[in-house]
Structure 1
Amino acid sequence: MSLGGLDVGTTVSRLIVFNESGKKLATAFREYPLISDKNKQEIDPGRLWRAVCEVCREAASKVKKDPIEAISVTAMGDTLITADVDFEPAGNAILAFDTRSGEECGRLIDQLGYETIFNATGMPAHTMNTATKIAWVIAARDTGEKIPARFMCTEDFVIARLTGRPVMSWSTAARTMMFDTMSKQWWPAMLDRLGLGIERLSEIRPSGSAVGKISARAAGETGLSGRIIVATGGHDQICSAVGSGAVGDGIVSDNTGTFECVIVGVGAQRRKRVDTKILADNKLALYPHGPDGLWAAFAWFNAGSIVQWCRDTMFTAEVEEAARSGKDVFDMMFSRLNEGSGGVQALPHFTGAGTPWLDPRARGVLAGLELGTDRYDILRAVVQGIGYDLLFNIKSFEESGIDIREIRATGGGSRSPEWVQLKADMTGREVKVVAMTEASALGAAICAGAAAGRFVSIEEGAGRMVALGKTFIPDMGKHEQYRDLIGRHFALYSAVLKCREGWIDPER
């Protein structure tokens, strides 16, 4: 029997099937379009569900000799899906980076207090969190229009469509900013402010909990057997950490894709000593991890999207050569990454800044350009700028009392040895590359195995299914130089903050 990890992303859903040793047996994926207009970021949940049905049918057809025993769902965090009592969508899904709930977010902060919200939910209040989107949906109703019967996230929406039971994991619930991380229940103070009854929300369970089996209706839509167990997975970054084997105190999951998402495991005893004010001041979330008793501290910032911008604007010749030769374009780009940046500095905030600022109005900057500056200098400066954001977040974790022992690298950025070495040098930590780049799906499959009783715990499953590749050792001399120079990076941000208003088109 095999285990399935269903990873439902912003524009792609994929189902990857593994055996109990972590070997990939089958994969299927489908894309769906983003609906974007200024500060609106949505997807059609009907299209999303059809994509889920298609990947389930395709992947299951590939493993008939080793049929799927259990499937777990991992999904993008914070997304809001409104639905009726039968889990039929009532409108488009509102994605995390939809910023239309700015006024509602500010109002919730005024009413409850930023620190009160953080202490209860572990979330730095922001428009990305689901509670602000619920407030916006309620406020934006037409006169006489009823409040939707259900407010869901992606994980519980998919689980409900598969089983008929609306259930989400603790980590997904935490991303809503409505979850009391200590009691592991919905937070009454936030529900009261929203005017929201608990009957409109899903049940909450730990990651790796069996919810039920595939319903007759879902079996017809997906082609999955009615004997398959469906389980909670978690927020995609939590499942990525599980799929990286980062399931212990002080072990970091560094997942580099469009954004770089950093999850640090915090043990239960250490959690009691963490200075949460430092985390709150630096917009760093703290909420339940996948394994029971483990907590996750979370940072994120721009990464891969900026490297793609470099590729598309400065390395078009390499793109063409890669198409002809079959070489990897990023290998060609990064071949000179360790030769220095020629004094160029970069703020990689092309789509706003992540932690520690959570500043959607931030903009990218290149400074220190000379006539002799070339494209490799700029690429190196951009990747260094991303590294400084990583280093500062790591330092903030440490200052709060969180231990950082080891980093596990996954995602597309982990494929570049030069980039991973730079991460090691800048953080001063060993970086171990995870063999499976689709760590979120692997983490979900591990949760499925725990739910099916194949593993005693998520930790045991990670130990059996996660494989590691090369370990990158930091050059501590370079690390000390980076620590000394990090002040320049943030001085540049502060300087830009004073003059950026004139750059920003208010209509964008």
Structure 2
Amino acid sequence: MSLHCTLGIDIGTSSSKGVLVTPDGRVLRSASVTHSVSRPAPGHVEMDGAVWWSELVDLCRELLTGADVELLAVGVSGMGPCVLLADEHDEPVRPAILYGVDTRATAQAERMTVELGEDAITRVGGSMLTSQAGGPKIVWVHDEEPEAYARARRLFMPASWLARKLTGAYVLDHQSASQMSPLYDIDSEGWHDAWWDRYAPGLEAPRLMWAGEIAGTVTPEASAPTGIPAGVPVIAGTIDAWTEAVSVGAHGEGDLMLMYGTTMFLVATGRTTLRTPSMWTTVGAFPGTRNLAGGLATSGALTAWLKDLTSADFPQLLAEAAASPPGAHGLVVLPYFAGERTPILDPDARGVIAGLTLTHTRGDLFRAALEATALAVRHNVETMRAAGADIRRIVAVGGGTQGWLWLQIVSDVTGLVQEVPATTIGASYGAAFLAASAVAAPGDEPDIVRWNPVTTRITPDRDLAATYDTLFDRFLHLYEATVPVVHELATHQRQE
């Protein structure tokens, strides 16, 4: 007898992942495939959208071949907000422009802010126009690549692209849409038609749905390459950070999710729309919820850079970093190696390593890099709380949760207890849960607490509070002190 399962697929920045999950939350099979993004110019980060579909096909073949399962539904998820523009035949007109790590549309964001006014933009969309906003990236294509834009008819993100390819439905979930600032009205939960027509001329606005709603069913054309039976329901899906929050049950009022990945993401959930210039205000993955979100441009990307630079493996680096004391013998690192998103909103920020001497070791440098990401998380958390966010519960998720040292440093620096659930696969698991919820009979919906219970609690070392308070002050002051020189260097880099 075939085992009932749901399939979850997530397209991430450095890899795509898939899971087959039973109705009680057990991971039956998992698979992943790595990829890389393209950086064709300083501040440009993009990816061929065709890869998203080809990787889904590869993952489905690996997961479904030889598996005696009956698929109940498919969940999709992906990095975002991304801007993939496609023509009337759903052929991409250019590579997808990625989320806030891509800073190319700074001039467009500034122009739109002048044209519309800061008050109007935040009133409608909830957030200022930053590198995270999708609207200016559409305008960038219109301005800089008019021939490509002239062929564009539709807007996709990874999850909505997969839903389109699987079902033929042209949809986008509300959460993703709310990050297409200023094109979405956060209070009315719909497209702002006047601004859509002005800044996305010629593009058909996708139909809006909630992340866990069924977008359609798998077509025979999509069934053939994937092996998913025709007729299986597919949800609309959403951006990976929000799906990760779902995967660990961190989407209730007072919850904060920390996503440890190539970048770091934070999502605080509540019922009230909070607006602050330095964070992102969005609707939640579920009706009636609102989020205050933030993100680091580098976290795992920074540690990977150091690993490659030093030709050491992660276990060795972590062991050496553990032997270095808090403060890394007087080092302070600014982790802005790809600019920075929240709360400084500075695409021209750059990495800084301060305090180096000839006595410092590789372990000191690696510890200082881990502390840098923790200090940046603290900066975001304090900014969220100042804006009114009620953060009562912290849940950690993502690949970085596998190493205890990084988790402990974040708790020590922030003073926050972190809960780590049994399964930290992340967004693909959350997508499978949303799919299971979408097809469950009323009263028989799955419970994420039972699917994925908390198994570890990371408690901060209160004896280190004073040390990290001092380090945090130095961290903030270092950024302010180096801004003039760093911005000059960023300008020079763009001209090379």
TM-score by length of 1: 0.89
Question: Which of 475, 484, 487 is 2:461 aligned to?
Answer: 475
2:141 corresponding residue in structure 1: 137
SS of match in other structure, 1:238: helix
**CA deviation vs aligned residue, 1:349-384 (integer Å, no higher than 9, x gap):** 122122111212111112122333222222222222
Separation in 1, partners of 2:143, 2:341: 27
Separation in 1, partners of 2:147, 2:396: 50
SS of match in other structure, 2:46: strand
Are 2:482 and 1:496 aligned? yes
- Asked whether the equivalents of residues 349 and 487 of structure 2 are also in contact (C-alpha less than 8 Å), the reply is no
SS of match in other structure, 2:150: coil
User: Cα offset for 1:69?
Assistant: 0.7
Q: 5 Å matches for 1:322-341?
A: 328-341=315-328
Separation in 1, partners of 2:90, 2:197: 24
Are 2:31 and 1:35 aligned? no
What letter corresponds to residue 421 of structure 2 in structure 1?
V
**CA deviation vs aligned residue, 1:71-104 (integer Å, no higher than 9, x gap):** 1111111212222334233332222233332322
Separation in 2, partners of 1:142, 1:262: 35
SS of match in other structure, 2:357: coil
**CA deviation vs aligned residue, 1:397-432 (integer Å, no higher than 9, x gap):** 111111111211122221121221121122222111
What letter corresponds to residue 269 of structure 2 in structure 1?
G
User: Cα offset for 1:174?
Assistant: 1.5
1:325 corresponding residue in structure 2: none
- Asked whether the equivalents of residues 318 and 363 of structure 2 are also in contact (C-alpha less than 8 Å), the reply is no
Q: 5 Å matches for 1:3-14?
A: 3-14=6-17
1:507 corresponding residue in structure 2: 495
SS of match in other structure, 1:73: strand
Are 2:4 and 1:16 aligned? no
Are 2:149 and 1:162 aligned? no
Separation in 1, partners of 2:286, 2:149: 42
Q: 5 Å matches for 1:323-362?
A: 328-362=315-349
2:301 corresponding residue in structure 1: 305
Separation in 1, partners of 2:378, 2:104: 31
- Asked whether the equivalents of residues 260 and 399 of structure 2 are also in contact (C-alpha less than 8 Å), the reply is yes
Separation in 2, partners of 1:456, 1:173: 30
**CA deviation vs aligned residue, 1:192-232 (integer Å, no higher than 9, x gap):** 321536x6121111121011110111111211101311002
2:451 corresponding residue in structure 1: 465
SS of match in other structure, 1:57: helix
What letter corresponds to residue 168 of structure 1 in structure 2?
L
- Asked whether the equivalents of residues 32 and 48 of structure 1 are also in contact (C-alpha less than 8 Å), the reply is no
SS of match in other structure, 1:441: helix
User: Cα offset for 1:390?
Assistant: 0.9
- Asked whether the equivalents of residues 108 and 193 of structure 1 are also in contact (C-alpha less than 8 Å), the reply is no
Q: 5 Å matches for 1:191-270?
A: 191-194=196-199, 196=201, 200-266=204-270, 268=271
2:400 corresponding residue in structure 1: 413
With over 3 angstroms needed to count, the CA separation of the structure-2 counterparts of 1:42 and 1:501, relative to structure 1, is closer
Question: Which of 170, 187, 191 is 1:186 aligned to?
Answer: 191
- Asked whether the equivalents of residues 72 and 231 of structure 1 are also in contact (C-alpha less than 8 Å), the reply is yes
With over 3 angstroms needed to count, the CA separation of the structure-2 counterparts of 1:375 and 1:35, relative to structure 1, is closer
What letter corresponds to residue 306 of structure 1 in structure 2?
L
What letter corresponds to residue 236 of structure 1 in structure 2?
D
With over 3 angstroms needed to count, the CA separation of the structure-2 counterparts of 1:33 and 1:369, relative to structure 1, is closer
User: Cα offset for 1:28?
Assistant: 2.8
SS of match in other structure, 1:162: helix
User: Cα offset for 1:479?
Assistant: 2.6
- Asked whether the equivalents of residues 4 and 70 of structure 1 are also in contact (C-alpha less than 8 Å), the reply is yes
- Asked whether the equivalents of residues 253 and 264 of structure 1 are also in contact (C-alpha less than 8 Å), the reply is yes
SS of match in other structure, 1:37: coil
1:398 corresponding residue in structure 2: 385
TM-score by length of 2: 0.91
Question: Which of 375, 389, 393 is 1:388 aligned to?
Answer: 375
With over 3 angstroms needed to count, the CA separation of the structure-2 counterparts of 1:99 and 1:372, relative to structure 1, is closer
- Asked whether the equivalents of residues 79 and 93 of structure 1 are also in contact (C-alpha less than 8 Å), the reply is yes
- Asked whether the equivalents of residues 31 and 63 of structure 2 are also in contact (C-alpha less than 8 Å), the reply is yes
SS of match in other structure, 2:115: helix
**CA deviation vs aligned residue, 1:424-450 (integer Å, no higher than 9, x gap):** 122222111232222111111111012
SS of match in other structure, 1:175: coil
- Asked whether the equivalents of residues 87 and 151 of structure 2 are also in contact (C-alpha less than 8 Å), the reply is no
SS of match in other structure, 1:218: helix
Separation in 2, partners of 1:41, 1:429: 33
With over 3 angstroms needed to count, the CA separation of the structure-2 counterparts of 1:309 and 1:93, relative to structure 1, is closer
Separation in 1, partners of 2:107, 2:354: 34
What letter corresponds to residue 303 of structure 2 in structure 1?
V
Q: Which segments of 5 or more consecutive residues in structure 1 lack a partner in the other structure?
A: 323-327
With over 3 angstroms needed to count, the CA separation of the structure-2 counterparts of 1:494 and 1:164, relative to structure 1, is same
Separation in 1, partners of 2:45, 2:460: 39
Separation in 2, partners of 1:500, 1:195: 34
What letter corresponds to residue 484 of structure 2 in structure 1?
K
2:60 corresponding residue in structure 1: 56
1:45 corresponding residue in structure 2: 49
Are 2:367 and 1:364 aligned? no
What letter corresponds to residue 374 of structure 2 in structure 1?
G
Question: Which of 81, 103, 106 is 1:102 aligned to?
Answer: 106
With over 3 angstroms needed to count, the CA separation of the structure-2 counterparts of 1:408 and 1:62, relative to structure 1, is farther
Separation in 2, partners of 1:30, 1:419: 25
- Asked whether the equivalents of residues 166 and 218 of structure 2 are also in contact (C-alpha less than 8 Å), the reply is yes
Separation in 2, partners of 1:502, 1:195: 33
With over 3 angstroms needed to count, the CA separation of the structure-2 counterparts of 1:309 and 1:32, relative to structure 1, is closer
With over 3 angstroms needed to count, the CA separation of the structure-2 counterparts of 1:410 and 1:106, relative to structure 1, is same
With over 3 angstroms needed to count, the CA separation of the structure-2 counterparts of 1:153 and 1:144, relative to structure 1, is closer
The percentage of counterpart residues that share the same residue type is 26
What letter corresponds to residue 10 of structure 1 in structure 2?
T
Are 2:473 and 1:487 aligned? yes
What letter corresponds to residue 125 of structure 2 in structure 1?
T
SS of match in other structure, 1:146: helix
- Asked whether the equivalents of residues 73 and 158 of structure 1 are also in contact (C-alpha less than 8 Å), the reply is yes
User: Cα offset for 1:453?
Assistant: 1.9
1:81 corresponding residue in structure 2: 84
Separation in 2, partners of 1:337, 1:454: 54
- Asked whether the equivalents of residues 31 and 51 of structure 1 are also in contact (C-alpha less than 8 Å), the reply is no
What letter corresponds to residue 57 of structure 1 in structure 2?
R
The ranges of structure 1 where at least 4 consecutive aligned residues each deviate by more than 4 angstroms after the TM superposition are 141-145, 337-340, 454-458
With over 3 angstroms needed to count, the CA separation of the structure-2 counterparts of 1:142 and 1:289, relative to structure 1, is closer
Separation in 2, partners of 1:308, 1:376: 14
